């Protein structure tokens, strides 16, 4: 019966002694001293590895967290810089496009003032997808005073004529279109001999067929072809193209030549309709 009481008494005594020891240790160590006690030395010797390990773990965790935050910040800044670069490149492309368009409009305005023809500038807004028809769609029509068969030119030379005219747009048949009836007369600049020009569909696409009007007509490679005064629709002395190949020298009755148009139709963006 006395044994539990004895254990409790011993525990109480132990706790009191421990409390007094800790109180004494705190009081003693709080005083200014030049040397450590053996207990302090022992405690520090035991706790030093643990403190060093804990400090290393904390330092590693802090450094790792700072590195992660730094990488995240760098990644975010890199992403923002990439977005800004894309925006700047897009803006630069837009400015280059505006500059090129401005230069083209300056050329258009310059050409329009250099000629005595009454010209109406028009923008190319469409092209025929058919491989058998070579036409363009322009943004001018009946409301602008256009009618069928009006000639269409560019600053490089002859483009074609109006095939169909709508209220707000028109279809232009190019001089390279090989459909029946799409022909015109011209002259060789070197000799002023009359020739006939047709669209060409066999072999070289984008070329025209040139046939002499007479057996005595001398046509050579490199000859430049101009519109003639006898042309039904076109003003005279407009550049049509340059002869690239002459065929049929042995048979003068079948003699013909291939002409490359002066205008690059694939790059046309603006044309002029001759209204007079």
Where exactly are the structural domains of the chain?
Answer: 40-114, 127-151+160-174, 183-274
Q: In this structure, are residues 77 and 84 in contact, taking their beta carbons and an 8 Å threshold?
A: no
DSSP letter, residue 28: H
Provide the pLDDT for residue 107. Answer: 65
Between CA 209 and CA 187 the distance in angstroms is 14
Helix boundaries (H) for the chain: 2-29, 38-114
**Structure tokens belonging to residue 79:** 């992403």
Q: In this structure, are residues 242 and 135 in contact, taking their beta carbons and an 8 Å threshold?
A: no
Provide the pLDDT for residue 36. Answer: 58
Between CA 34 and CA 44 the distance in angstroms is 16
**Structure tokens belonging to residue 149:** 């068969």
Provide the pLDDT for residue 92. Answer: 80
Report residues of the chain scoring pLDDT below 50: 1
- The neighbour count for residue 204, using CB atoms within 10 Å, is 13
Please work out, in degrees rounded to the nearest 5, the angle formed at the alpha carbon of residue 218 by the alpha carbons of 188 and 207. Answer: 55
Provide the pLDDT for residue 75. Answer: 84
What are phi and psi for residue 137, nearest 5 degrees?
-115, 130
Contacts of 142 (CB under 8 A, 6+ apart): 165, 166, 167, 168
Provide the pLDDT for residue 161. Answer: 94
Provide the pLDDT for residue 65. Answer: 85
Q: What is the CATH number of domain 183-274?
A: 2.40.10.350
Between CA 207 and CA 104 the distance in angstroms is 25
Provide the pLDDT for residue 184. Answer: 92
Class of 127-151+160-174 per CATH? Answer: mainly beta
Contacts of 4 (CB under 8 A, 6+ apart): none
Write out pLDDT tens, residues 155-172: 899 999 999 999 999 999
With tokens 């058998």, the residue in question is 132
Q: Would the CATH topology of 127-151+160-174 be identical to that of 183-274?
A: yes
């Amino acid at each position: 019966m006395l044994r539990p009481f004895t254990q409790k008494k011993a525990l109480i005594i132990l706790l009191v002694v421990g409390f007094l020891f800790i109180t004494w240790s705190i009081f003693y160590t709080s005083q200014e001293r030049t040397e450590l006690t053996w207990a302090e030395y022992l405690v520090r010797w035991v706790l030093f590895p643990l403190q060093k390990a804990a400090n290393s773990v904390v330092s590693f965790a802090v450094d790792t967290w700072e590195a992660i935050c730094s990488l995240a910040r760098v990644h975010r800044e890199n992403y923002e810089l990439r977005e800004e670069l894309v925006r700047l490149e897009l803006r630069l492309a837009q400015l280059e496009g505006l500059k090129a368009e401005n230069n083209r409009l300056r050329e258009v305005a310059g050409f329009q003032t250099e000629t005595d023809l009454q010209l109406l500038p028009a923008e190319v807004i469409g092209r025929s997808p058919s491989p058998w028809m070579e036409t363009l769609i322009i943004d001018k029509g009946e409301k602008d005073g256009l009618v069928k068969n009006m000639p269409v030119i560019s600053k490089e030379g002859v483009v074609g004529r109006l095939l169909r005219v709508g209220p707000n747009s028109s279809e232009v048949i190019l001089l390279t279109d090989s459909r029946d009836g799409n022909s015109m007369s011209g002259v060789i600049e070197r000799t002023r001999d009359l020739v006939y020009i047709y669209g060409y569909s066999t072999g070289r696409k984008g070329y025209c067929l040139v046939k002499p009007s007479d057996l005595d007509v001398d046509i050579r490679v490199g000859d430049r072809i101009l519109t003639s005064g006898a042309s039904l629709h076109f003003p005279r002395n407009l550049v049509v193209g340059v002869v690239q190949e002459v065929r049929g020298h042995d048979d003068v009755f079948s003699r013909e030549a291939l002409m490359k148009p002066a205008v690059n139709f694939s790059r046309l963006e603006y044309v002029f309709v001759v209204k007079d």
